Each structure stands twice: as C-alpha cells, then as structure tokens.
C-alpha cells in the first residue's frame, strides 16, 4: 500500500510539471495574456481589458521567454510589424516593463507631429473628426475629441484606419521635431494622444528595438469596468463589459 501511495504522489507531481511546461510552451510560442492598466490606448483599449498577444507574429526574441533571459540576441523568424499594429513591447530603458502602443513608424520612416496632426515621411496623415468622446475609468471624467486616423498604405497592405483621441492640438506632444526611425527600431504611439508616454518622449521611451517586441495584440477575451471589487460577486454581471469580449484589436 505504501508503494502505491508513493506512486500516486509521483504521478501527481509529474502531471503538475507537465502542465506547467505546456503552459510555458504556449505562452512562449503561441499566445500570452495581458491586461490594460492605463488609458494611453483609449478608445481602442480600455482600462480593465484583458487580451491575448500572439507571440509568433514578429518572430521570437529573448523577450518571448519568461523573465527575458539573456541567452541570445536578435529575433528568430523575425519580421517587421505593419504600420498600425497594436503591439506589446519591453520598455527600452529597462527591458522589463511591458508597454502596449500602436506601431506608427518603421525603420527609415520620418515621423513628426505638427499641430496635433501626425506627419509620416513629410506627408500629413489624414484624420476625420467623429465627434466628442467621454473618457471614463482613467482619472477624472473628461470630454475630448475623437478622430479616425488613416495611415498610408504599405506595399501589399491595405491602409490602416483607427480611432484616436485629442484633448486639443496644442498639448506638449502635439508639436515635435522630426524623428528618423533608425535601422532595427520602430516608432510607437498611444491612441490617446495627449495622455500617452510613447516614442515621442525620447528620454522616457524613444525608439523601440525590434528585439523588444513581445507580440501583436489580437483580441480581447475579458473586460471589466472596475465598478465591482473581486469579492463583490453580486456586482460582476454589470461590471463586465460583455460587448467587448472576443472582439478583435484593430
């Protein structure tokens, strides 16, 4: 009986180890969950969104692995993002903090913001005013302006349209010098343009090395507005944003 009991414990430990290895494998190779803690990507992503990021979209770097072990450099099976992709990356200044922003510039692109209008390679990027937008769940409630921004097409890629927010066109990052994206890097910006610390802040974020890309945001699998604490079970049904569940990130 003692041997049988010992064997049962051993099988249980093996099962736990195998399950852990499978989970790490899926997280490393296929998909990793992330949550949105701030409003820099409103209206595309809201505080309380939980999403899956595809790890295979841009190939694999050391940041694809848990804790980013420094065992190799560069990317394996790497490819450039498309302009307009929403991507998770490691903050260049510490290589550990996860950021999520929209990829605006690719290597060699010239990026500048003038009067709130994005300019790409010397040309103003078209934006269309949609109306007022009320920002909630990220500090004080405020009403800002919402635009549809249409990035110019790349070879073989359709023009990318997404929504952005602007408090006004004279905020600190609404007028910038021209940035030239160096080789092996991308330029990332938040959709909540006046409430985003991104590549426009060269001393804080700056250009993002391709090696720092973790993956592309694919779809939201859960979303909660924060109106109910985890133990307030009775408030869960109204706190969950049901319409956002299983929606694609664009």
pLDDT in tens, 231-244: 888 998 999 999 99
With CA atoms as reference, report the closest residue to 31 among 2, 54, 51, 64: 54
Q: Establish if 47 belongs to a structural domain.
A: yes
Per-residue confidence (pLDDT) for residue 1, from 0 to 100: 47
Calpha distance 250→247 (Å, rounded): 9
pLDDT tens for 38-76 read 999 999 999 999 999 999 999 999 998 887 888 888 899
* Domain count along the chain: 1
In a domain, 129, yes or no: no
Please compute the mean of the pLDDT values over residues 199-217 and round it to a whole number.
97
Query: Is the confidence at residue 158, as pLDDT, over 90?
Result: no
pLDDT tens, 4-44? 455 678 776 766 776 666 656 666 667 899 999 999 999 99
The pTM (predicted TM-score) of the whole model is 0.89
Determine, yes or no, domain membership for 148: no
Examine residue 134 and state whether it is found in any structural domain, yes or no: no
Catalytic member of 40, 64, 199, 223: 40
Instruction: Kindly state whether residue 33 falls inside one of the protein's structural domains.
Output: yes
Mean pLDDT of the chain: 91
Q: Is 55 a catalytic residue?
A: no
User: What CATH number has the domain bearing residue 189?
Assistant: 2.10.109.10
In a domain, 130, yes or no: no
Active-site residue, selected from the candidate residues 61, 90, 101, 196: 101
Q: Is 128 a member of any domain?
A: no
Q: Among 28, 53, 187, which residue's Cα sits nearest to residue 110?
A: 187
Q: Catalytic residue at 101?
A: yes
Task: Give the integer Cα–Cα distance in Å for 228 and 16.
Answer: 33
**Enclosing domain of residue 16:** 2-113+179-248
Q: Is residue 41 part of a domain?
A: yes
């Amino acid at each position: 009986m003692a041997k049988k009991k010992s064997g049962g414990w051993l099988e249980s430990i093996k099962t736990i180890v195998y399950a852990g290895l499978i989970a790490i494998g899926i997280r490393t190779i296929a998909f990793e969950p992330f949550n949105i803690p701030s409003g820099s990507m409103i209206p595309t992503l809201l505080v309380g969104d939980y999403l899956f990021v595809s790890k295979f979209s841009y190939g694999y770097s050391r940041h694809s692995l848990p804790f980013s072990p420094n065992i190799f450099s560069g990317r394996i099976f790497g490819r450039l993002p498309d302009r307009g992709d929403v991507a998770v990356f490691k903050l260049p200044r510490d290589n550990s903090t996860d950021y999520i922003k929209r990829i605006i510039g690719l290597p060699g692109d010239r990026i500048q913001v003038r009067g709130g209008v994005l300019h790409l390679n010397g040309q103003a990027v078209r934006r269309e005013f949609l109306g007022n937008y009320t920002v909630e769940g990220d500090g004080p409630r405020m009403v800002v302006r919402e635009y549809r921004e249409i990035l110019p097409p790349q070879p073989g890629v359709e023009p990318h349209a997404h929504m952005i927010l602007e408090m006004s066109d004279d905020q600190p990052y609404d007028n910038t010098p021209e940035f030239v994206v160096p080789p092996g890097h991308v330029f990332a910006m938040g959709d909540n343009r006046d409430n985003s610390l991104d590549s426009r802040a060269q001393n804080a974020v700056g250009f993002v090395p391709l090696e720092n890309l973790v993956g592309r945001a694919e779809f939201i699998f859960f979303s909660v507005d924060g109106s109910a604490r985890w133990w307030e079970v009775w408030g869960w049904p109204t706190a969950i944003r049901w319409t956002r569940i299983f929606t694609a990130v664009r």
